[in-house]
A = this chain, B = another copy of it.
Amino acid sequence: MSVTDELLANNARYAETFSGPLPLPPAKHVAVVACMDARLNVYGALGLAEGDAHVIRNAGGVITEDEIRSLAISQRLLGTEEIILIHHTDCGMLTFTDDGFKQSIEDEVGIKPPWAAEAFSDVEADVRQSIARVKASPFVPKKDSVRGFVFDVATGRLTEVA
Q: Which residues of A contact B (CB under 8 A)?
A: 2-4, 6-8, 10-15, 18, 20-22, 24-31, 36-59, 64-70, 72-74, 76-78, 82, 84, 89-90, 92-93, 95-96, 101, 104-105, 108-109, 111, 113-118, 138-139, 141, 145, 147, 152-158, 160
Known: A30-B4, A59-B69, A147-B4. A47 touches B153 (CB 8 A): no
User: Which chain B residues lie closer than 8 Å to A154 at the CB level?
Assistant: 20-21
State A89–B153 Cα separation when bound (angstroms): 33
A-B contact pairs, 16 of them (CB 8 A): A4-B147, A7-B30, A8-B158, A10-B47, A10-B48, A11-B45, A14-B45, A20-B153, A22-B38, A24-B37, A41-B43, A58-B70, A59-B74, A64-B65, A109-B141, A113-B139
